[in-house]
Amino acid sequence: MQWQCLPFEELTTHQLYDLMKLRVDVFVVEQNCPYPELDDNDRRAGTHHLLGYNNDQLVAYLRLLPPGTTYTNVSIGRVLTAESTRGTGAGHELLRLGLEHAERLWPDHTIDIGAQSHLQHYYTRYGFEAISEEYLEDGIPHVDMRLSKGIVCG
């Protein structure tokens, strides 16, 4: 896979279209969850987009959010892989690279995420720990999780 980590202003129109389409395909269509996908955090100063391409097709994506955007700490969100890529290890490579980029952008910062509850075990493999009770977000069970600074596993 080919990876790129770019701030909003460096995305091409094709990259922006690809990431918006993939996010809608997974979060809105596949998960049958209509919600406000475009939340203005994509273009916020400091936000970066990690894109994973396989044969010129976007198949993995996450966004890295600076402290104070959705949480007090750094945050990783919109973590996804295309259905055709699941089970290949691409999701693990995506998260590992996302954590590396977060460390490069914001060294030694704590990272908070709002994880879908059924993925809690996946994130614990990387050192994340639950810091909230389960709650519903857009009708899907979630739990807030934290990776304390300096801890990266996988």
pLDDT at 151: 47
- 126 domain residue, yes or no: no
Predicted TM-score (pTM) of the model is 0.90
Residue 9 maps to a domain: yes
For the stretch 36-78, pLDDT in tens is 677 889 999 999 999 999 999 999 999 999 999 999 999 999 9
Note whether residue 149 is domain-resident: no
| Residue 64 located in a structural domain | yes
Model confidence pLDDT, tens digit, residues 3-35: 999 999 999 999 999 999 999 888 767 767 676
pLDDT at 96 over 80: yes
Q: Which domain holds residue 79?
A: 2-106
Number of folded domains in the chain?
1
- Interval 101-154: pLDDT, tens: 999 999 999 999 999 999 999 999 999 999 999 999 888 899 999 999 754 444
Residue 82 lies in a domain: yes
Domain containing 87 — which CATH number? 3.40.630.30
Domain-located, residue 136: no
The answer to whether residue 10 is domain-embedded is: yes
Instruction: Extract the tokens encoding 134.
Output: 């389960």
Residue 70: inside a domain: yes
